[in-house]
Structure formats: structure tokens, C-alpha cells
Amino acid sequence: MATTRSLTLTRSNQLRQRAERLLPGGVDSPVRAFRAVGGEPPFLTRAEGAYLYDADGNRYLDYFGSWGPMILGHAFPPVVEAIQKAAAASASFGASTAAEADLAELVTRAVPSIEKLRFVSSGTEATMSALRLARAFTGRNYIVKFEGCYHGHSDGLLAKAGSGLATFGIPGSAGVPEQIAQLTLTLPYNDVAAVEAAFAAHKNEIACVIVEPVAGNMGCVLPEPGYLQALRDITAREGALLIFDEVMTGFRVAYGGVQELTQIRPDLTTLGKIIGGGLPVGAFGGRAEIMDKLAPLGPVYQAGTLSGNPLAMAAGIATLSHLEKNRESIYEQIDNTAAAVANGVASAAASAGIPLTTNRQGAMFTWFFTANPVRDFASAESADTKRFATFHRGMLDRGIWLPPSQFEAAFLGTAHTQDHVDQTIAAAREVFTGMQE
């Protein structure tokens, strides 16, 4: 029996109305406005472990983890303590500290293809800087990206960039000059022939191929067997760099990211999200020979007032240290929890006769409302986004917070338990029953 519920969001709605007068759409990042799923976004006040709390006192089980970073749960005590300690010693110096090399050591130990790296303040900065470096290193201008992959919002990377844009039905973005967009060759994901064709058409002109090695920004889409190896082989043969954008997958699908799972070594890697433990951090790194082209050693300029910020470094060190020490148990635990919830909800949909395709890699997954296999952006777009919106709303009403778009991956972490899984499956069963009527 489907029960109709709805949240009390009185205070959240007051806060939203005030925010809408001051911030475009009331938000600082578009998907937060819930336009793709309808309804009003709750305004959050605090979170602990696997739970989020809003301004009206509603509690939600969190399946988005601040879009990925909160793998150890919210307000994880060692991370909180590290930030407090760093803050007491000054929030920022704008000069070097030991913490930068400490975090760099943790990252290079986890991701052996990274010999040297540089910290920035967001994933967007990391990918934008990696592209500049790839162009400078190869002396070429074109870049290859894939439909549905999102690499932050810099000009050249917004063509067919998944999630946020797909959510709003925008193909690219206004304000990106055609001359810049023309240098981005956008190809379908999981299509090796398209990559071969692009390199044939632009012989010696392509600087790099940038890819989400497990895609998360068109919803979770897995690389088919051999796909990433083909990208490695083609780029090596053609003298182009291969960039794995592991901002989402790094320290998420395995401690060492997709490159640990596949043993494929990209030339450059971009990171973010988990490496900042919830604070604003990104990083790009790779072969020393390439990284040494950066100023002050080389001619590629890149800089940041708050880059390597001590609070962010402290949160990152606390997070990665805990993950490194417990990597055997943690990644197995979150894989099992994610499998249980992903498969449990999938069975509930099957029982209710609702077509659902579940894609998952470790603790990163998407329920697509379609009977089709989802292997690229076109198949992701075949999902019924109205159904997803109904599902999202129904789950939110039952205290389950899912990412607010069909084209975003869900995440869970070490704070999620079998009890949480059972509650989630029970809520999904109710919502699916309601959707049949």
C-alpha cells in the first residue's frame, strides 16, 4: 500500500526564497536547485555519519555524499579534528607548508602513474590546467572528450558534458566562443572506432584524450572490456596524452581509482572530491617529465592564492590516511553495502514491473529508468526522467536523499549499514507500488 507523504519544509522554503533574491536560482551550483526532479530543495544545517539534517529538523539517509567526497561519513571525527587543529594554526599562509608534500606522498603511493602533482582548489581547475599542460607538452591544440563525461565547467570542456547540462537540456553553454568549442572533439563513450576516426581526421593535431574512466556524470556508466586499453594504445601510438579524470573515481571505486582496477597508466590524472575530505581541493599530476613543464620550472603558467590550503590539506591527509590504513576492509565493505542496496532496489522495481537498469562500480551506482543497457550518453538519455523525478520525490519524502538528477551517480560510504540498506529497499518498494497506480 502506497502511503502519500510529504515533508514539512517551512523553514527551508523561507531560506530558499531569501537565497533566490540574492543568488541566481538560489544556488551556487545549478543541480542543487532540484529543477530536474521538481519540488523544493531542503536547506541543510548539519550532517553526521550517513545522515543529513535540514532546517526543519527532517533527517535523510544520504546517498550523494556531497557528490562523492564524504566516503567516511559526515563529520568523521579524525577529519574534524585535523581541520580544527589546522585552523587554529591559521587558515591560510600563501606560502609552503609540509602538509602539501604529506598529501602528495599519500596520493603518489596510491596512484603510481602520478610521479609529481600540483594541488588546486577544485576539479574544474585540475582538468583545465591538465589540458593546458597537455597542449604545451605536445604542441597540439585539439582535445578529445566523450559525450556525457563532465570535466568541470571550463570553456573547452563543456561540450555535451553530462549531468548538469543534461539535467537542464543544454547542449553546451552560452558564452563559450565557437573558436574554443571547435578545438574540442566530442565523441561517443565506449566507441573505439570513433576515436580512431578522430585521430585519422586530425593527424598530429590532437593533444590529449580526456576520459572519466568509469563515468559518473551521465549517471554511472562502465567502460566496456578493452575500451580503456584501446584509448591507452591509440594515444601512445599517435603521440597524444591520455588523461584519466579521476576526480570522482579516485579513492572511490578502489583506493587507487580506476587505474588500480585496470592497471592502465594514463599520462596525467586529475583528482578532487575525496582527496579534500569535503574541503575544496583538486589536483593534477602524472609523469614528472610532463609536470616539470609547469612554472616555475617550465613555460606553462598555473597558480592559485589558496592552492594547497592548510585546512584542505589537513582534511585530505586525515581522509587518505584513514583510507590507506583500512583499505582492505573499507573497499570491500562499501562494495558489499552498495551491491546490497543497488540489487535490492532493482529487485523491488522488477517485482513492481518497473523497467530499471542498474549500473554500479563499487560504491558508485545509478538506477536508470529504462529497460535498455546504458553504455553511453545516448542510452542514458533513453531513461524516463519523469519516472526518476517521481522516484526521487517519493524517496525524499521517506527520508532517503538521492542525487537530484537521473544523470548523477549515487554514492555511499563507511557509515552506511545493512539496516540503512533495508530501510532504503522498503522505501523503494512503497514508491514503486505508488508508481504502478
Ligand X SMILES: *Cc1c(COP(=O)(O)O)cnc(C)c1O
Residue 245 designated active-site = yes
Q: Decide if residue 247 touches ligand X (CB under 6 A).
A: yes
Q: Which is nearer to ligand X, 217 or 414 (CB)?
A: 217
By C-beta, is 271 or 342 nearer to ligand X?
271
In sequence order, which ranges of 139-241 are alpha helices (DSSP H)?
163-168, 178-181, 192-201, 227-238
| Active-site residue (options: 150, 189, 255, 331) | 150
Among residues 80, 64, 52, the alpha carbon closest in space to that of 277 is found at: 80
- Residue 343 Cα distances to 214, 245, 251, 338, 358, angstroms: 19, 27, 23, 8, 8
Cβ atoms of 162 and 217 within 8 Å: the answer is: yes
- Restricted to residues 40-59, the positions that interact with ligand X (CB under 6 A) are none
CB of 133 to ligand X, least distance (A): 16
Residue 216 makes contact with ligand X by CB under 6 A? yes
Among all chains, which residue has been given the C-alpha cell 609529481?
116
Residues whose CB falls within 8 Å of the CB of residue 268, separated by 6 or more in sequence, listed in order:
130, 133, 134, 208, 241, 242, 243, 244, 284, 285, 286, 287, 290
**248 binding ligand X? (CB under 6 A):** yes
Neighbours of 351 (CB within 10 A): 11
Catalytic-labelled residue, pool 245, 267, 376, 397: 245
Query: What is the x/- site pattern for ligand X, positions 272-301, by CB under 6 A?
Result: x---------x-------------------
Beta strands in 147-267 (DSSP E): 184-187, 206-211, 241-245
Query: Residue 361 interacts with ligand X (CB under 6 A)?
Result: no
Residue of 214, 203, 221 lying closest to 379 (CA atoms): 221
The C-alpha atoms of residue 290 and residue 292 are separated, in whole angstroms, by 5
What is the C-alpha end-to-end distance of the chain, expressed in Å? 10
Q: How far is the CB of 104 from ligand X (least distance, A)?
A: 18
Applying CB under 6 A, among 118, 145, 151, 387 the residue interacting with ligand X is 151
By beta-carbon proximity to ligand X, the closer residue of 190 and 217 is 217
Which member of 189, 255, 273, 397 is catalytic? 273
Which parts of 194-213 interact with ligand X (CB under 6 A)?
Answer: 212
Nearer to ligand X, 43 or 64 (CB): 64
Question: At closest approach, how far in Å is the CB of 399 from ligand X?
Answer: 26
Catalytic-residue membership of 386: no
**158 or 354: CB nearest ligand X:** 158
Lookup result for grid cell 584513514: 322
Binding segment for ligand X among 242-250, 284-292, 323-331, 391-399 (CB under 6 A)?
A: 242-250
Contact call for residue 245 and ligand X (CB under 6 A)? yes
Choose between 62 and 246: whose C-beta lies nearer to ligand X.
Answer: 246
Nearer to ligand X, 49 or 68 (CB): 68
CB 274 within 8 A of CB 239: no
CA distance 394 to 94: 47
| CB-nearest residue to ligand X | 123
| Sites for ligand X among residues 104-133 (CB under 6 A) | 122-124, 127
- 228 contacts 258 by C-beta, under 8 angstroms: yes
Instruction: Indicate whether 316 belongs to the interface with ligand X (CB under 6 A).
Output: no
Q: Is 150 a catalytic residue?
A: yes
Q: Which stretch of DSSP H or E encloses residue 324?
A: helix 310-325
147 binds ligand X (CB under 6 A): no
Smallest separation (angstroms) from ligand X to the CB of 148: 11
Q: Which residues bind ligand X (CB under 6 A)?
A: 122-124, 127, 150-152, 212, 216-217, 245, 247-248, 272, 282
Positions annotated as catalytic residues are 150, 245, 273
